[in-house]
Amino acid sequence: MRKITIYHGSEKIINAPAIELGKKHNDYGQGFYCTEDIELAKEWACKNDHDGFANVYELDLKDLRVLRLSSNGYTILNWIAILLKYRVFSLDTPLSRKARDYIIEYFGINVEDYDVIIGYRADDSYFSFADAFVSNSLPLSSLNKALRLGKLGEQVALVSQKAFEHLKYIDSVVAESKIYYPKFFSRDNNARLTYRNEIAQTEDVLDDIFVLDIIRQEMRNDDPRIQRIVSE
């Protein structure tokens, strides 16, 4: 495996990250969330319209178990399943609660088997997509398309103590809010706009798959109907 450079956007310098400092209800559970894109990290650092830092690290992937959710064999439903396990959803209907249980059981991945997870970042915009799908108001094709077009970027999450032992702090680069807050706002606004457009343009519902269809027809990850949609 190889060494990669990753960045963590923050309002402060973090030269000694630790797994226990991470929030337990993050996308993939407790951990340290980074990106391989320094520009994206600078945007995250300025999301509250304050100057911040892109903290720079070297991560040695040798001997680490890496889950890349964009690789073959995984679908957007695997990502949803992990979110449903760790993030807090409202789940205010019987169907949404049934959907949570079903998706976790049949599409879930045990992240405790991995040291590093690479996948979509579920900020407020992406979280809205996931919530709408679980509530049966957004079909699978629109979910898949919205996530690809939203361009919010992938994150690299260190989720084991072993991963932290392979992490080396390098530097902290200043991120100016006057430059990066507008970029963060624009990226987030674009994702929200994409979501609204997908909701409005959902027309071919008879040929699409909603979460209720997945439950009723007992679909699994390798179901050709799911594979057809997520590969479009």
Helical ranges in 135-210 per DSSP H: 140-150, 161-165, 177-200
User: Do 192 and 125 touch, CB atoms closer than 8 A?
Assistant: yes
Taking the C-alpha atoms of residue 51 and residue 179, their distance in angstroms, rounded to an integer, is: 9
pLDDT of residue 163: 97
The Cα-based distances of 111 to 75, 79, 117, 193 in angstroms read 15, 11, 8, 31
Q: pLDDT per residue over 192-231, tens digit each?
A: 777 677 665 655 667 789 999 999 999 998 899 998 888 7
Q: What is the pLDDT of residues 92-140, one digit of tens each?
A: 899 999 999 999 999 999 999 999 999 888 776 667 778 889 999 888 9
Closest residue by Cα to residue 59 from 31, 86, 85, 82: 31
Longest dimension (CA), the chain: 53
Nearest Cα to 89, choosing from 48, 129, 146?
129
Query: pTM for this one?
Result: 0.89
Closest CA to 48 of 171, 173, 180, 157: 180
4: nearest Cα among 26, 36, 30, 31: 36
- What are the tens digits of pLDDT across the range 48-68? 999 999 999 999 999 999 999
Q: How confident is the model over 17-44, as pLDDT tens digits?
A: 999 988 888 899 999 999 999 999 999 9
